[in-house]
A and B are shown apart, each in its own frame.
Chain A
């Protein structure tokens, strides 16, 4: 038996340790990675298919009314929309009294003006100058029992103040406009304030000046939006006071009260646009194969049904929706005079009880809280010369997957609309074609139609 000398034992231990460490290293580094090698040995048991010809049935609906109070904006104007009909907008604003006038024994009225600031939003022919009429309200603006006023609401206006002003404004201008009001109105208001300044509480003030109604004169061809905040909408009374024999110019300012403003909006739809109510939707086959989304006026929105999704079930033993995109394309040239909504929402719409449900949500990367699914207007679409890239895109994979194989009572439709919070803030309009909409050629028609693009995988037993 050979006994290894001590010095060699240490060497051997080191050698064994090195061998072990080497093997451990090799094991740790022998990681799996995908390889193309041997791909001729494998064959998928699934087929993946992308189809963009799935039927989407559309019907157009109109809302009874929308909340227009406390929106920070009034619309004034008229527009005869060739797509939907004639819309008319009137604004009602209350002004708050300010104390920035000099308590002087001999104030002398000079002039009165109304300051308006357009928001840049418009609906109609922007080449036409706004032509407005301004009315003094008879009574202060009273909110409904729910604290709101609607597009159908109005307020009594007197005829003692009746002025009509046309001012220059072109396109989506946001330049401040100052309109001279009749001196009679200004003197009456000024004197009322000055004479009763000792007893001028809010009630007395509102009796003296309940507010203004701003309406379009006949012949307007555009509706403009004006910002209503205490700094963007004001009445300014210019007056003078005598101090030591000198006359000094002063300004008394009445600021708009955003909490007490609303719009009266009405749309007379075209005779050949039989838009239904939510209980009686009108299919787009009766609206020239067009769906509509319109904010302001008589708000229109469009319901979407997907009646043939169950067909997917028949394609294989197992069918899994990999991706479903809803692409909404505006009709070419329909958005040149009316701006497109910057974003749209999809809402669940229960066809059994015709109740509009909540907006579809989605989980975004890195978040556990679902957010409202929004279809943003493709950036490229903002260039009107690039119609092919002008569309709204929704990923509705989960919704479509949930609708396959569901009984009739479980079926849910969708309605597509401008976000609720935005529907009365600006005039926007989207006109889009259904699957039968025809535009010049077959190819061009597809660029104007709604499209449901579904990518699905089919498994068949092997």
Chain B
């Protein structure tokens, strides 16, 4: 009896600690989201810079996620991929990244450092066939501060107008995966897009501030089929689809006197009407575990028809984007390791991305390679996934902006056995 009480108290304390830690991480991540630090001139366009990576476990594998399924993986891109989560597991996923950019044009050379919260999600299996995941991630980021000298008419003097932007659209999603038949899962993800983007123009005497607020619910769909061959090789194929839908941004404008702070004008202005693009993608993965060594190869492609949006900004227009990702993961020994190094997951990958932006008729293209490691801890159940990505974004247009970047992604994947029944009452 005493043993039972002690056991229950210990279990309660343990759960309480975990909840407390989880709450602390959630609060921290929300604070980090509020303190989002982006510095990219392209984020002035549209609703901000759209993040193409999902910054989960697979960042080191070139973000090839659509065909990926694993017991420990919260698949942010394909809801059907949640079907692989272990029955007893509760997965908590948190990601952040720091990006060092080096922008060059024919006349300028500047560096920027971006620090961004990328993802916060939890997932678990509700029934034998139904798995859910709830998460929060930035959909777009806006962050720029551009100084442009303007001539004072009637004189030779100049003054600087400062253009700044901040905020972004966030995505809160509820993803569901349902196993239809053995190996075949279908997924649907309901996303709520929300957030505020602010563009401010600060002239010496006038400050013009435009605020756009997003408020939209949308659905994404996914399928995956997985088959195990000879107990050591699993092949998974998957696909995702999102339909085109209206995306309205409610806008307001405020004009104030810079020196006195007096508001000269404050009004609602016509809404910005955009579309979330029709998107589709397909991918596959091959998992093989033989002689205790585990190999995982994954590749996918993904397309978004952004050209349905007619917005244009000084030569920048939306265009259809395409992304090709591929990567390999290797774990030396998953069953009888002789040391810690043998249970680390080693990743390498590459990504080619034709961006949603075209500048002066040329599509921005992004090439990157990535390496990563998954460091297990807490009895090998949880992982810290660290990935480094080196890449380049450019239009190929001579004299246009070219961005060389190095990105460091850190993903914390906490996996707990919350639903394990006690051996005795």
Question: Do B98 and A26 touch across chains, with their CB atoms under 8 A apart?
Answer: yes
Question: Do A50 and B410 touch across chains, with their CB atoms under 8 A apart?
Answer: no
Chain B: CB-nearest residue to A9: B377
Question: Do A322 and B377 touch across chains, with their CB atoms under 8 A apart?
Answer: no
Please give, as numbers and ranges, the residues of chain A lying within 8 Å of B45 by CB-CB distance: 41
Question: Do A318 and B41 touch across chains, with their CB atoms under 8 A apart?
Answer: no
Cβ of B316 < 8 Å from any Cβ of A? yes
In the bound complex, how far is the Cα of B380 from the Cα of A9, in angstroms?
11
Cβ of A16 < 8 Å from any Cβ of B? yes
Question: Do A320 and B154 touch across chains, with their CB atoms under 8 A apart?
Answer: no
Question: Do A30 and B384 touch across chains, with their CB atoms under 8 A apart?
Answer: no
In the bound complex, how far is the Cα of B42 from the Cα of A33, in angstroms?
16
Question: Do B105 and A23 touch across chains, with their CB atoms under 8 A apart?
Answer: no
Chain A: CB-nearest residue to B156: A50
Please give, as numbers and ranges, the residues of chain B lying within 8 Å of A365 by CB-CB distance: none
Please give, as numbers and ranges, the residues of chain A lying within 8 Å of B145 by CB-CB distance: 32-35
Question: Do B37 and A30 touch across chains, with their CB atoms under 8 A apart?
Answer: yes
Question: Do A23 and B115 touch across chains, with their CB atoms under 8 A apart?
Answer: yes
Query: Which B143-174 residues have C-beta < 8 A from chain A?
Result: 143-148, 150, 152-155, 157, 159-164
Given the known interface contacts A19-B410, A46-B206, the answer about A4 and B150 at a Cβ–Cβ threshold of 8 Å is no
Cβ of B361 < 8 Å from any Cβ of A? no
Question: Do A32 and B264 touch across chains, with their CB atoms under 8 A apart?
Answer: no
Chain B: CB-nearest residue to A52: B154
Question: Do A41 and B152 touch across chains, with their CB atoms under 8 A apart?
Answer: no
Given the known interface contacts A9-B377, A320-B264, the answer about A49 and B153 at a Cβ–Cβ threshold of 8 Å is yes
Question: Do A457 and B204 touch across chains, with their CB atoms under 8 A apart?
Answer: yes
Question: Do B150 and A23 touch across chains, with their CB atoms under 8 A apart?
Answer: no
Please give, as numbers and ranges, the residues of chain B lying within 8 Å of A322 by CB-CB distance: 204-205
Q: How far is the CB of B95 from chain A (nearest CB, A)?
A: 11
Given the known interface contacts A23-B98, A320-B206, the answer about A30 and B114 at a Cβ–Cβ threshold of 8 Å is yes
Can you list 25 A-B contacts (CB < 8 A)? A1-B380, A2-B335, A19-B386, A26-B115, A30-B112, A30-B114, A34-B147, A35-B110, A37-B110, A38-B44, A38-B144, A38-B401, A39-B147, A41-B45, A41-B314, A41-B316, A46-B208, A47-B153, A50-B152, A50-B155, A320-B206, A320-B264, A456-B205, A457-B205, A459-B208
Q: Give 10 nearest A-B pairs by CB, closest first.
A: A38-B41, A322-B205, A34-B147, A26-B98, A27-B115, A30-B113, A39-B148, A50-B154, A30-B37, A49-B153
Q: Give the interface of B toward A (CB within 8 A).
A: 32, 35, 37, 39, 41-42, 44-45, 96, 98, 103, 105, 108, 110, 112-115, 143-148, 150, 152-155, 157, 159-164, 201, 203-206, 208, 255, 257-258, 264-265, 313-314, 316, 334-335, 337, 340, 343, 375-377, 379-380, 384, 386, 401, 408, 410
Q: Give the interface of A toward B (CB within 8 A).
A: 1-5, 8-9, 11-13, 15-16, 19, 22-23, 26-27, 29-52, 317-318, 320-322, 455-457, 459
